[in-house]
Structure 1
Amino acid sequence: MQIYMVGGAVRDALLGLPVQDRDWVVVGATPEAMAAQGYVPVGKDFPVFLHPDTREEYALARTERKTARGYRGFAVHAEPGVTLEQDLARRDLTINAIAAPAGASPSTADLAALIDPYNGQQDLAAKVLRHVTDAFREDPVRILRLARFAARFPDFSVAPETRDLMQHMVADGEVDALVPERVWQELSRGLMADKPSRMFEVLRDCGALQRLLPEVQRLWGVPQRADYHPEVDTGIHLMMVLDMAARLGAPLPVRFACLCHDLGKGTTPADVLPRHIGHEERSARLLKDVCNRLRVPVECREIADVVAREHGNIHRCLDFTPAALVRLLERCDAFRKPQRFADILLACECDARGRLGLEESPYPQRQKLLDALTVAQSVPTDQVAATAQAAGQDGRQIGEQIHAARVAALTQALH
């Protein structure tokens, strides 16, 4: 039995990055032998075990054979005769197909001990994302993974032959077989990378974006007013907004809201979304379609919906009256969910600063609305409600009294 550290742990160690998770492959073993040594079986589709002490994953060396479309259409073969080189051949990228014997550190001192049959170290040095073998085409998730790696390592380029292979996979319909959960999983991880725009550049270049997110694909080539958007093109603006969200350290719900805030500006069939509907409402309707199709988590859906509907009003709030400010706070549900409202404002700041030449501009709207919320929250709503109830007013009238008290408090504070 030989044990090797493989995949991302070796790659990140060679790049001098922190190693988060370590994966291991075991050559020359059987499930029975692993169990006899205390390893706990957890794999459903292929033999994977947890180490009895560290709880790290140890997988038996295996090969795969394509049996159907999609990422689940594989027959797995794992037995003691499978070699390490065969196991590495089924991996996605050469930079992820490097192994280090257990006990060896993937450092400069131990480079000679590394097993690198597909020249992953060479591609690391050249900063190239390249598929290992033609088996890459058998799993459409690998297109998403490569795009995610491009977002994590933005100075890496995609090898021309790999780009061609991905284009052929899209043309063959492999991407259409992806299940929503895997698309969202990879999409969300790419959104949280250092340069999310790179993920969408790669997906767009190979044609996968049109299949997975046609609502986003349509934004390229849509012009915008140059006085508001010096970058002019809506797709370019969107990429700048996403990268600004990464720069500001925004959480996933904010980044997803940034991705979807302008969907309504794309060309849409008139019989589906009539042109007389404002682009904010069109964005919200298209957002709902995206969320249902990809099964997006509720928190991401809710913030994205408010941002799609209200980002224009939030941008214009410096000129709002106290009454308009309170109505905006109420529509954003800021009184019940102040932390979510702060995230909504962060997404709007990303939108405002994700424009050519405006990256360093201040966004006073954010602080004004947070201050307005603080003032409005100071209103003793319990007392207002009790007084209204004592006067025999119903629920609607009580709400109106609370609204009026908040407007009065904000008016006093502003003047």
Structure 2
Amino acid sequence: MTTLDILKKTRAAWPSIRNRDAEGKNALLRAMADSLMACAPAILAENRRDMEEARGTISDVMLDRLYLDERRLAGMAEGIRALTALPDHTGRILSQITRPNGMTICKQQVPMGLIAIIYESRPNVTSDAAALAVKSGNVCVLRSGREAYRTAKAIVQALKQGIAAAGGDAEIINIVDDTSHQSAADLMRANGLVDLLIPRGGAGLIRRCVENATVPCIQTGTGICHVYVDQYADLQKALAIIVNAKTSRPSVCNAEEVCLVHQAVAEEFLPMLKQALVDDRQTAGAVPVELRLDQRAAAIIPGTPASETDFDTEFLDYILAVGVVDSVDEAVAHVLRHSTGHSDAIITENAENAQKFVDGTDSAAVYVNVSTRFTDGGEFGLGCEMGISTQKLHARGPMGLDELCTYKYIIRGSGQTR
């Protein structure tokens, strides 16, 4: 079946979910979660096949993004169930006024329609996107990367079984079988069928969508995330935050890629940083972090000299660019030059410097004494997420139910004319 055929049959199923009441949608979600776990053996078997084929062709950290086990699958199911506890946004009245002539104008939240998502090697995106589409009254077409296709297909089959078992139309979610560039191009240009396209992957994928899409498109994901250690930082707190932000899962977009350190604490803090990220990890048999140092940092600790591009690179690996700055103002200026507008953090006990960083930077999520790893729909109380928007129009930051809706005006009167 062609990509266009899949879009048409998915679009045709929209009436079955668009006006479904809250309990009806929650029943579908519960059935989807149950079916996901019931189909775990088949899903994990397909994931093993994907892993075997990908091994040796992608990095170990990217393999970790692809990998599924019972615990991760249970987390995906829990993410779906979490949505049932959230209020139903469909039909919500955003505002209402009565004009002097007696007519009332009501602004009402409504679903987008058909949401298409192009993504790479993270299986949880499949279930998150499908569940958010159902909860928000939309239909969804998924286009997985080649390396994750078997896993994604098995997940979609399980979700469709759950929808059908709960009395829903299983065609409200579908996956594109073609993983070539042509299928992605077809989604980008499916005017009249795709209401919103969300690319979720590396910078190359997002750039292709933004440059070539003729349907509405939201930029997501690329995360050159900074942590700035201020002169008034609690250094133990800073160290714990950076270890988490860099090493807990380096392949994700909210992982730290750049560390900036105020010169007043650099002599003390940088050796602590090297000890925690390099020496201690080597001793423990973990992958050490490669520190790519600017000239000032390299004068304090050993590491790899930073290249001209290292402070503009989303490594998605055990690599961290490290620089020394003279002030919070210099740190803010550095972030503004190099950040992708995703997530940036300051570690400080000084309220004035914290506010200066918050006000001066311009990212979707700005943290004070918190790891950037919290930029996530689940952590923000959204249940799960469709992606993390780094743009400013319509959606910004983790995209939940509100971001998958639009609105319309409903005007009621008694015969008014103009």
Query: TM-score, normalising length from structure 1?
Result: 0.26
Name whichever structure is richer in helix by fraction. 1
Higher relative contact order (CA 8 A, sep 6+): 2
* Larger Rg over CA atoms: 1
Name whichever structure is richer in strand by fraction. 2
